[in-house]
Amino acid sequence: MTELTAREIAGYIDHTLLAPNASREQIVQICDEAKKYEFKSVCVNPLWVSTVARELEGTDVLTCSVIGFPLGASATDTKVFETNHAVADGANEIDMVIDIAAALRGDRDALVNEIFAIAQAAHEGGAILKVIIETCLLTEEAKVLACEAAKAAGADFVKTSTGFSTGGATVEDVALMRRTVGPELGVKASGGVRSVETARAMIAAGATRLGSSSGVAILEGEQSGSSY
């Protein structure tokens, strides 16, 4: 396989700003960066979805919103409401956090039911669903269970991490997730992807999307100091 160039990697990146103190000016800035570098999407908290959708109108860059973020400990109905609201505001993609406790106790039915409800809401609005399983908090068995539940429930992607817990993406977790979901679903590596070398390693392991606030640094061949 030919090594991907930095510019080719741009199409994998969800350019991300999820800090609770993000300003409108910063949100507009990352939209401008996404347009300049041709990132895949801009990923923000629900508050900023309508702003991002307006800023990206007429471009190929998608609008992505997080749901149940970052703990995943909201009721399913609440996550569905958030999803419907984000889609109505212009989100093309939804990144939801699972019920992490359900994964740890092995409750597959609870995971499938929750993910199915949110997938249905996203798909009815024309959006895709990425399922954040928060790998740093799960056993290997729970990671597999969560990925299998996401696939059974009709999700489009599984995603490693929020970037707000005890750890981010690892090559090993990306490879495990890819083996578990097969070629049908996307795999998104997020949290700690801050250099072109790390980006290439995640893609080689099976990632088809990268969540990062360091997209510009990655494309410029720099090492970012960002925490996400």
* Tokens standing for residue 121: 């809401």
Run of H or E residues at 7: helix 6-10
Q: What is the residue-wise DSSP string for 124-152? A: HTT-EEEEE--GGGS-HHHHHHHHHHHHH
CA distances from 192 to 75, 196, 216 (A): 28, 12, 14
The 10s digit of each residue's pLDDT in 160-219 is 999 999 999 999 999 999 999 999 999 999 999 999 999 999 999 999 999 999 999 999
Residue 83's pLDDT band, with cuts at 50, 70 and 90, is very high
Is the per-residue pLDDT at 227 higher than 60?
no
- Per the CB < 8 A criterion, the answer to whether 96 and 79 are in contact is yes
Residue 3's pLDDT band, with cuts at 50, 70 and 90, is confident
| Spatial separation of the C-alpha atoms in residues 217 and 228, rounded to whole Å | 12
The 10s digit of each residue's pLDDT in 110-160 is 999 999 999 999 999 999 999 999 999 999 999 999 999 999 999 999 999
Phi, psi (rounded to 5 degrees) for 180: -70, -45
| Spatial separation of the C-alpha atoms in residues 147 and 165, rounded to whole Å | 19
- Residues designated catalytic: 95, 159, 188
SS3 3: coil
The CATH number that domain 6-220 falls under is 3.20.20.70
- Per the CB < 8 A criterion, the answer to whether 40 and 65 are in contact is no
Q: Residue 154 region, left (φ>0) first, then alpha (ψ -120 to 50), else beta?
A: left
